[in-house]
Chain A
Amino acid sequence: MLLIDCPWCGARDQVEFTYAGDATVRRPDPDAGETAFAEYVYLRDNPRGPHRELWQHTAGCRRFLLVERNTLTHEISGTAPPREGPQ
């Protein structure tokens, strides 16, 4: 069971949250070209270990949050509002 510390609501059961994927992906500049957009949409680092990801507190405040979680151990090392975490 994952216990996720929502920055606004406090620690809650994972069932209140919806996973929203890799948080390190950045939308390229509009004129960055097709290759940059194809990589943005489709390619992922998919790390085995620490992973910075987005979750949404869908059954709570409905806000997105940044979660740093280890994909090998499921250990969560920290959560933060998405814009305040290290980029």
Chain B
Amino acid sequence: MARYSVLSLARHALTGHRHWPRAWRDPDPKPRYQVIIIGGGGHGLATAYYLAKEHGITDVAVLEKGWIGGGNTGRNTTIIRSNYLLDANARLYEFSLKLWEGLSRDLNYNVMVSQRGMVNLAHSDTQMEAFARRGNAMRLNGIDAELLNREQVREMIPLLDFSAEARFPIYGALLQRRGGTARHDAVAWGFARGADQRGVDIIQNCEVTGIRVEGGHVRGVETTRGAIATDKIGIAVAGHSSQVAAMAGLRLPIESHVLQAFVSEPLKPFLHTVVTFGAGHFYVSQSDKGELVMGGDLDMYNSYAQRGNMPLVEHTLAGGLALFPCFSRLRMMRLWGGVNDMTMDGSHIISKTPIEGLYLNGGWCYGGFKATPGSGWVFAYTIAQDRPHQLNEPFTLDRFARGVVFDEKGAGPTPNAH
């Protein structure tokens, strides 16, 4: 498989770009693999890539029921950051952010990482103190964090509502300069190409319909393209983890909820950072095409529909207008929904399970995209070594029964409140 370079670009330009080879193969499933990954999203593809690259395990199949990156990988708002309060979360997300920083070079694929900064706005003295605490916690974990006052925020993002009429006046912000965005489709494609180059079979349109367990050990999967034998299965299907885990008889501490996202008509560049509202749930960045990419709260009820309802559209955009009154005449181009695994503590699960050879990566709530490389890296380690890496050791499936939860928000076992 050819490497991408300026030279290859120039060479293909001479022939009108008609002869680019496929970026990955389209193989038929073999009867047996050493490892099967269920789910061809970012996390599953990254897991396969790092299994091959870091552990030399190349006899791997990634089974995807639709097309790769067609689920939540292509539905998120592309934000990457590591501004977490709790040590265990901060360490994993920071590890992931460091992988992001070198990912395009590592994959020989431009995933368009743009470290444009992540600005969390504060709207009260109390919130400023909470952000000072979070920023200090981040810095103690070696993560960059800056507390901005009102004037510094105004200088950075002048179009925010700094008027006397602002419903929630801006007091300041917590800034992580190394946060930003990445091109989400390219992440799936880059990991797919990298895994495929190392011998991983990426099998699309292949839905897993059953997991075969004998004597407490996995033996294989049933799929719409026949049975495939294996001794190790990694589940990476966040949104539908409960459904796939149920095939092996497991019940999970997860509810599936729908989260909507919105894209406006394209505008000239005016917003060079990612901004979040501190008095409601709203976040926005401007894509390279000029569109505003926006998101907000869950629709709040269990759903697998991949589409939400109008009250949340109004609620989210009302939050946006409270921050940026200049958005009021903006037209929306698209809105869509993605299905999220909402866990009982708001943190993810990357873990062994009570069944030998069955590993679970899920429960990403609505924070999975930024974790993609780090999650794949530690999940590959967990599958290859049959034990968790120290970065994912805290995020076990049994932490709930043991009472060692990671509740970043302190919301308790109420999935839609995280």
Give chain A's interface residues, CB within 8 Å of chain B.
1-2, 13-15, 18-19, 21-22, 34-35, 38-39, 41-46, 48, 51, 53, 69, 71-74
Contact = CB atoms under 8 A, between A and B. Distances in A.
A70 to B, nearest CB: 9
Interface residues of B, number: 25
Given A1-B311, A42-B401, A44-B242, A19 B301 contact: yes
A36 to B, nearest CB: 11
A43 B252 contact: yes
B89 interface: no
Contacts of A19: 300-301, 416
A51 B302 CA distance: 8
A3 to B, nearest CB: 11
Contacts of B303: 71, 74
11 contacts: A18-B300, A41-B344, A41-B400, A42-B344, A44-B254, A45-B251, A46-B242, A46-B252, A46-B302, A48-B256, A48-B304
A42 B253 contact: yes
B401 A38 contact: yes
Contact of A1 (B240, B251, B310): B310
A71 B242 CA distance: 13
Sorted from nearest, which 4 A-B pairs have the closest CB atoms?
A46-B242, A42-B253, A38-B401, A42-B400
Nearest to B402: A38
Contacts, number: 69
A38 B252 CA distance: 12
A27 to B, nearest CB: 13
B326 interface: no
A22 B414 CA distance: 11
Contacts of B415: 21
B241 to A, nearest CB: 9
B401 A15 contact: no
A43 B401 CA distance: 10
A45 B309 contact: no
Contacts of B240: 48
A48 B246 CA distance: 11
B272 to A, nearest CB: 35
Nearest to B254: A46
Contacts of A74: 303, 305, 309
Contacts of B201: none
B149 to A, nearest CB: 37
A53 B414 CA distance: 14
A74 B309 CA distance: 10
A49 to B, nearest CB: 8
B252 A69 contact: no
A69 B258 CA distance: 15
Contacts of A73: 305
B395 to A, nearest CB: 15
Nearest to A43: B251
A15 B344 CA distance: 24
B243 interface: yes
Interface in B248-275: 251-256
A40 to B, nearest CB: 10
Contacts of B414: 21
Q: Which of A13, A19, A48 gathers most chain B CB within 10 Å?
A: A48
A53 B301 contact: yes
B302 A41 contact: no
Contacts of B416: 19
B242 A45 contact: yes
Contacts of B302: 21-22, 46, 51, 53, 71
B304 A69 contact: no
Given A45-B251, A51-B302, 5 more contacts: A44-B252, A44-B253, A48-B240, A48-B256, A53-B302
Contacts of B305: 71-74
